[in-house]
Amino acid sequence: MPELKLYTVKDLREWLENDHPAEGLSERVVAPTRAWAIIHNPYVKDEDAIVAAIFEDGELAAYTASFPDMLEGKRVWWCSTLYCYPQFAGLGYGMIVVGSLMEAHEPNLTYDRWGAQETVEIFKALGLQTIYTKRYHFTDKKINTSSIKGKIAYCAQEMKKSLHPWPKASKANYKIQYVSIFDDEAYAFMKANQGKDLWLREQEMLNWIVKYPFRKSGILKDEGGRQCVFGEDASVYEYKVAKVYLEDELQGVYVLRLHDETLGVVYLYPTNEKRDVVFDSIINQIIANRPKSFMTENVYLYEYVRERLYFPKNVEELVSLSLPDNQQVLTNFTVQLGDGDSFA
C-alpha cells in the first residue's frame, strides 16, 4: 500500500542538527545541502511542510520539495525537485506529492519553473497555467565518439574551436566590486533597473540564495554514491555578486554562477545607457573562466556574446513557468535565469 509522508522544517532541522530523522527521511528524499539551505530560508516556519514523499511497501517511490518566497509582498511557494522512480511511473504519485504540498500551503500560491513536460502536465491538472520564456545556451555539441563517424565529427569540432581561440580580455574602462551579499546600494539599483521583469525578489531572499547554495564545491561526481536524484555533486559551485562602476557611478549589478564547466548569469541589471560596458565586463568574465557552456536569459546579452565569442553551438531553449491560473501576465515580460529554483 502506498504511504504518503509530509516532512516539516522542524523535521529537517532535527535530522540535520540532531541526527534524529523522521521515519523515511534520508538523503534519498532530499540532499542535505539543499535541506540545510531550505531550513535557513528567511520565510520558513517550523510547522511548514517542505517535503512530500510516497513509499510503496517501505520503498521510496516519489518525492518533491518546496521553499517559500515573497513576491509582491505575498508569501508564495516554489516547487523544487520532483521525481518518481521509473518502476512506479504511471501511478499518479507525482501528482499526489505535489498536490499534497499545494494543499498544505494554502492559501499561499504555488509556482514552478523549468519543469519537464510531465511536471508541466501535473501542474496543469492541479489548476496552474504555464507560459514559456527563452533561455539562451552556448555550448559544445554533444557528439557520440563510439563510432568512426563520431570521432571524425569530434575532431572537426575541436579543430574549428582551435581556429577560434579565446580572445584576450578587453582593456577595462570600468571597475568591478565583488560583494558577498546584495547590499542596499545594489538592491536599490536593481529596483530602479528591473525593466519588464515579472517580479524582483526581496533583498533578504537574494542574500539567502548566495549565502545558502543548494550545492557545494569540491564534491566529485560519483554515481555509485549519489543518493538523492537532485544531489549536491559539483567539483566547482560558486556565486559572484558583481557591481560595475564607470567613473564612480554604478552602471550594473549581476550575479554569476559557476557550476563545474558552465557559467551562468543568474541575475542581470544594467542601465540602458551603459549596457555595453556591463556586457563587456561579463565577456571578460567568460574569457577568464573559459567555460564549456554559458547561459543567460537576457536576449541582449545573448546577441552581444554571440557576436564576440565563438561557441560550437547556440541554443534557444523554451523554459516553463507554471503559475496560478488567475494571475495576469503582461506581454513582453522578462524573467531572470535565477528565478524560481533555477538559481540552483
How far, in Å, CA of 299 to CA of 280, rounded? 15
Q: What is the pLDDT of residues 248-275, one digit of tens each?
A: 999 999 999 999 999 999 999 999 999 9
Q: Please name each of the domains of the chain with its CATH number.
A: 2-126 (3.40.630.30), 135-140+172-324 (3.40.630.30)
Strand order in the sheet with 262-270: 2-8, 49-56, 59-71, 74-84, 109-113, 313-324, 128-139, 293-296, 262-270, 249-259, 237-246, 175-179
Is pTM beyond 0.85? Reply is yes
**203-211 and 184-192 helices, crossing angle to 10°:** 120
Pairing of strands 109-113, 74-84: parallel
Residue ranges of the chain with pLDDT lower than 50? 222-224, 226
Query: 278 with 244: CB under 8 angstroms?
Result: yes
Closest by CA position to 232, among listed 27, 1, 11 = 27
Residue 139, all three cell numbers: 555550448
pLDDT of residue 327: 83
Phi, psi of 282 (to 5 degrees): -70, -40
The DSSP secondary-structure symbol of 1 reads -
Cell numbers 546577441 correspond to 303
Q: CA 79 to CA 67: how far, in whole Å?
A: 7
Burial of 19-35, coded b for 16+ CB within 10 Å and e otherwise, reads eebbebbeebbbbbbbb
CA separation for the pair 169, 166 (Å, rounded): 9
Among candidates 17, 239, 9, which has minimal Cα distance to 104? 9
**What pLDDT score does 158 carry?**
74
Q: Using CA atoms, how far apart are residues 319 and 205, in angstroms rounded to an integer?
A: 22
